[in-house]
Structure 1
Amino acid sequence: MRRVFLGLDLPDPIRAALAMQQFLLPLPKKAPPEQFHLTLLFVAEAPDAALEAAHEAWSALRIAPFPLQLQGLGLFGGDRPRAAWAGVAPSEPLIRLQARCEGAARLAGLDPEHRRFSPHVTLGMFRPPGFAETAALERAVAAGADFRAGPWEVAEMVLWQSHLGARGARHEELARYPFS
């Protein structure tokens, strides 16, 4: 069994813009900028046979490249935030891509995570901080509400394997799927 996710890699100028926003936020723990990505779907336990079938299905998808832009910052976790993220401007092509990829994964026998698709790039994941730290983080995120990066042209998606370790997850690229 493998722990995998399908997503979009980010061009260097977008990574740099995200790293600057990350620097400006008082995050208790920051995601490594080299691992910034936008997840389309996540599978906690992917059997090799189903993963191979999904790989073939994703390779066969015909998708036109499309523009994408990051927009806004936010926190997951409500009163006890546990992650900071950069949002994505509304994009019908992105929503269609995610639905097609998830459908292909399910037909192949994979069981992707059951969450509503909320496109974002994670800037940091952490244990909920104390009241003062949470207030400072919320103020900094509100100050970055007008954050924008891009647009850039999305022309491929990537399959990564996630290896969990003491310092967090390490991502290993398994395949790239160029758009037609």
Structure 2
Amino acid sequence: MRRIFLGLDLPDDLRSALAVQQFLLPLPKKAPVDQLHLTLLFVAEAPEAALEAAHEAWSALRIAPFSLQLQGLGLYGGDRPRVAWAGLAPSEPLMRVQAKAEQAARCAGLDPEHRRFSPHVTLGQFRPPGFAETAALERAIAGGAGFTAGPWPVGDMCLWESHLTPRGARHDLLARYPFS
């Protein structure tokens, strides 16, 4: 079984803009800049046969290139935040790509995580900080509410394998699926 996810890679200029935001936020733990991405779907346990079938299905998808723009910052976790993220401007093409990719995965026999798709780029994941640290993080996030970067052209989606290590997850690129 493999731990995989399908997503969108980011151009270097966006990674740089996100690295600045990571620097400005008092994040307890930052995501490695070279691994920043937008996840379309995640599969915790991908059997090899189903993964091969999904690879074929994703290769056969016909998707027109489109543009995306980063917009805003936020936290997941309510009163006990655990994730800091950069959001995306609403995009109907992105929602269609995600739905097509998930349908192809399910038809191939994969079981993607059952969550409503909420497009974002994770800037950091961490244990919930204490009250003072949470308040500082919330103030910094509120100050970055007007953050935007892009737009950038999206011309493919990528398949990564995620390896859990004591220092965090490491992602290895397995395949690219160009849009037509």
Q: TM-score, normalised by structure 1?
A: 1.00
Shift of 1:103: 0.1
Shift of 1:5: 0.1
Shift of 1:114: 0.1
Letter in 2 for 1:141: I
Q: Residue 155 of structure 2 corresponds to which residue in structure 1?
A: 155
Q: Residue 166 of structure 2 corresponds to which residue in structure 1?
A: 166
Q: Residue 142 of structure 1 corresponds to which residue in structure 2?
A: 142
SS in 2 for 1:102: helix
Letter in 1 for 2:24: L
Tell me whether 1:7 sits opposite 2:44 in the alignment: no
1:21-36 correspondence runs (5 A): 21-36=21-36
Q: Residue 61 of structure 2 corresponds to which residue in structure 1?
A: 61
Shift of 1:131: 0.2
Deviation sequence 1:114-165 (CA, Å, 0-9, x none)? 0000000000000000000000000000000000000001000000000001
1:89-168 correspondence runs (5 A): 89-168=89-168
Letter in 1 for 2:166: A
Shift of 1:7: 0.1
Letter in 2 for 1:49: A
Q: Distance in 2 between matches of 1:93 and 1:22?
A: 28
What is the root-mean-square deviation of aligned Cα atoms in Å? 0.3
How many aligned positions are there?
A: 180
Q: Distance in 2 between matches of 1:98 and 1:143?
A: 30
Deviation sequence 1:61-111 (CA, Å, 0-9, x none)? 010000100000000000000010000100000000000000000000000
Q: Distance in 1 between matches of 2:173 and 2:67?
A: 23
- Structure 2 unaligned spans of 5+: none
Shift of 1:34: 0.2
Q: Distance in 2 between matches of 1:12 and 1:162?
A: 21
- Structure 1 unaligned spans of 5+: none
Q: Distance in 1 between matches of 2:127 and 2:33?
A: 20
Q: Distance in 2 between matches of 1:5 and 1:119?
A: 14
Percent identity over paired residues = 82
Q: TM-score, normalised by structure 2?
A: 1.00
Q: Residue 43 of structure 1 corresponds to which residue in structure 2?
A: 43
Letter in 1 for 2:48: D
Letter in 2 for 1:126: F
